[in-house]
Structure 1
Amino acid sequence: MNRTDLDACTLHTIPCLLARNRIRLRSFCHIVSGSLLFFFDEYLQSDFILVLAGIKACVITMVVSTRSSARQGKEEKFVYEPRQKVALRDFVGFRYIDQYLEYDCLMTPDELRRLSAHKYSAVDTSWLDELCMKTFWDKVVELYPMWLAPNLITLIGLIVNLLTVLILTYFCPTATEVAPSWAYLLAALGLFMYQTLDATDGKQSRRTGTSSPLGELFDHGCDSISQVFVTLNVCYALQLGELRNSAWLVCVLSLSLFYCAHWSTYCTGKLKFARFDVTEAQMTVISMLLTTGIFGPGIWKIGLFGLELRHLVIISSLLGTLYQGGGYLYTIMTGGVGKNGSTVAGTSVLFPVCPLMAVVIPFCMIYSKSNSDVFQENFTLFVLFFGAVATKATNRLIVAHMSRSELFIWDWIYLAPIALILNQYYDFVFAEKMLLNYCTIYAYASLLIYCWVITRQICEHMGIRCFTITPIKH
Structure 2
Amino acid sequence: MGHIPQRSLENLKKYAYKGVDKSLISRYVLNPFWTWFVTLWPLSVAPNTITLTGLSIVFINFFTLLYYDALYLTEREGEEGPPHWVYYTWAAGLFAYQSLDAIDGKQARRTGMAGPLGEMFDHGCDALNTTLEVILASRALGLGRSWWTVASQIATLANFYLTTWEEYHTGQLFLGHISGPVEGILMIVAIFSISGYYGPQFWDQKILTFTHLENLTLMSRLPNIPLNESFMVFGAFGLGFNIFYSYLNVLKATRAQKTSSIRPLLLLAPFAGSALLQVAWLSHPRFNNSYILDSAAFVPFLCAWGLQFAHMVGRMILAHVTKGPFPMWDWVWIWSIAGAIDANLPLFGMAPIIQTSTRNTTIFVWFTLFISFAAYARFVTLVINDITNYLGIACFTVRKKDDKGVWHNAQPDKLS
Counting only pairs closer than 5 Å after superposition, residues 319-468 of structure 1 correspond to structure 2 as 319-336=237-254, 339-342=257-260, 348-371=263-286, 372-377=290-295, 378-426=297-345, 427-430=351-354, 431-468=360-397
User: Measured at CA, do residues 335 and 376 of structure 1 come closer, stay the same or move farther in structure 2, by a change above 3 Å?
Assistant: farther
Q: What CA RMSD, in Å, does the superposition of the two structures yield over aligned residues?
A: 1.9
The gaps in structure 2 that reach 5 residues or longer are 209-223, 346-350, 355-359, 399-409
| Residue identity opposite 1:169 in structure 2 | L
Aligned to 1:201: 104
Matched length: 367
Shift of the alpha carbon at 1:334? 3.5
CA distance in 2 between counterparts of 1:151 and 1:358 reads 32
Aligned to 1:309: 227
User: Measured at CA, do residues 473 and 200 of structure 1 come closer, stay the same or move farther in structure 2, by a change above 3 Å?
Assistant: closer
Q: TM-score, normalised by structure 1?
A: 0.74
Q: Does 1:273 align with 2:197?
A: no
| Residue identity opposite 2:176 in structure 1 | A
| Residue identity opposite 1:462 in structure 2 | L
User: Measured at CA, do residues 409 and 338 of structure 1 come closer, stay the same or move farther in structure 2, by a change above 3 Å?
Assistant: farther
Q: TM-score, normalised by structure 2?
A: 0.84
SS, match of residue 142 in structure 1: helix
Q: Which has the higher contact order (CA 8 A, sep 6+)?
A: 2
SS, match of residue 369 in structure 1: coil
CA distance in 2 between counterparts of 1:173 and 1:247 reads 17
Shift of the alpha carbon at 1:179? 1.2
CA distance in 1 between counterparts of 2:190 and 2:336 reads 34
More moved, 270-279 vs 405-414: 405-414
CA distance in 1 between counterparts of 2:24 and 2:196 reads 27
User: Measured at CA, do residues 379 and 170 of structure 1 come closer, stay the same or move farther in structure 2, by a change above 3 Å?
Assistant: farther
Shift of the alpha carbon at 1:327? 1.2
| Residue identity opposite 1:133 in structure 2 | L
CA distance in 1 between counterparts of 2:366 and 2:384 reads 27
Between the aligned residues of both structures, percent identity stands at: 26
CA distance in 1 between counterparts of 2:13 and 2:70 reads 42
CA distance in 1 between counterparts of 2:248 and 2:70 reads 39
Aligned to 1:35: none
| Residue identity opposite 1:429 in structure 2 | I
2:142–2:204: 8 Å Cα contact kept in structure 1?
no
Deviations 1:404-435, CA, capped at 9 Å, x for gaps: 11123222211221120232144321221111
Q: Does 1:263 align with 2:165?
A: yes
Shift of the alpha carbon at 1:340? 2.5
Shift of the alpha carbon at 1:173? 5.6
Counting only pairs closer than 5 Å after superposition, residues 183-194 of structure 1 correspond to structure 2 as 183-194=86-97
CA distance in 1 between counterparts of 2:86 and 2:58 reads 12
SS, match of residue 283 in structure 2: helix
SS, match of residue 352 in structure 2: coil
Deviations 1:452-472, CA, capped at 9 Å, x for gaps: 100110000000000011244
1:118–1:402: 8 Å Cα contact kept in structure 2?
yes
More moved, 128-137 vs 365-374: 365-374
The gaps in structure 1 that reach 5 residues or longer are 1-86, 91-105
Counting only pairs closer than 5 Å after superposition, residues 59-208 of structure 1 correspond to structure 2 as 87=1, 90=2, 106-172=3-69, 174=71, 177=79, 178-208=81-111
Aligned to 1:102: none
Equivalent residue in structure 2 for 1:250, among 141, 149, 152? 152
CA distance in 2 between counterparts of 1:173 and 1:328 reads 40
Shift of the alpha carbon at 1:174? 4.5
Aligned to 1:291: 194
Aligned to 2:211: none
SS, match of residue 335 in structure 1: helix
2:307–2:372: 8 Å Cα contact kept in structure 1?
yes
SS, match of residue 20 in structure 2: strand
1:241–1:376: 8 Å Cα contact kept in structure 2?
no
